[in-house]
Amino acid sequence: MNLNAGRWCAADDRDLVSDERLSTAVTIVENFNPNENAQRQSQQTVLDFAARHQDALQRSCVAGHFTGSSWVVNHSGTQGLVLLHSKVDRWLQPGGHADGNGCLGSVALREATEETGIAGLEIWSDPIDIDVHLFVNRSASEPSHLHLDVRYLVKAPPEAIVRGNEESQALKWVKEEELTDSELSLDESTQRLARCGFALADQVLG
């Protein structure tokens, strides 16, 4: 991970301006430097999918679409925030649909702000993980589809207040050693994201 290229960005940063071009999202994925084989495979899957689906930024692309999510850490980088997601009844990181915005960092920061309720969040400009997974809505209000998830590190300000919203049943700060806690049952990709997030936080916040 090239730390020289990355920097912290606030919501009003020029690099987080909404961009409706699919090519913007594709460039972000192309420039990602994978550290693990799972990331490399996901990166290629996303690029192949985007090449076949010019509407991949939109939810109307029923086969799948881009999402942006994040590992939110406290100001010291020692804890990360997970949400008990209402739709799937699982502990996950904050995230959501691109909805036409190819600036995926902007998407991830918007979703983190909405889902945690924390004011003043900042995002590391370069993604830290890419994952492709099948989204299965237990309420069956929409068909199962792929999420092409580009993931970032987000840091909270000192003494952040977590409020959450209707999309989650609960929110919880966890330490790295708690990632394998059976009560959380974090899936492999969420644990990978968390490890990547903690590793970067240790370098830029430690």
The H helix count followed by the E strand count for the chain is 4, 9
Q: Is the pTM here over 0.75, yes or no? A: yes
Q: Which sequence spans correspond to the domains of the chain? A: 8-204
- The CB-side HSE value for 5 (13 A sphere, CA atoms) comes to 9
Give tens-digit pLDDT for 75-134: 999 999 999 988 788 999 999 999 999 999 999 999 999 999 999 999 999 999 999 999
- pLDDT, residue 181, reads 96
Residue 168: what pLDDT?
A: 86
- 120 CB-near residues (< 8 Å, 6+ apart): 10, 156, 157, 160
Query: Domain 8-204 is in which class?
Result: alpha beta
Can you list the residues of the chain whose pLDDT is less than 70? 1-4, 137-141
| pLDDT given for residue 141 in this prediction | 64
Instruction: Tell me how far the alpha carbon of residue 147 is from its chain's centroid.
Output: 11
Q: Computed from CA positions of residues 171, 174, 179, 183, in that sequence, does the dihedral angle turn out positive or negative?
A: negative
pLDDT in the model for residue 148: 98
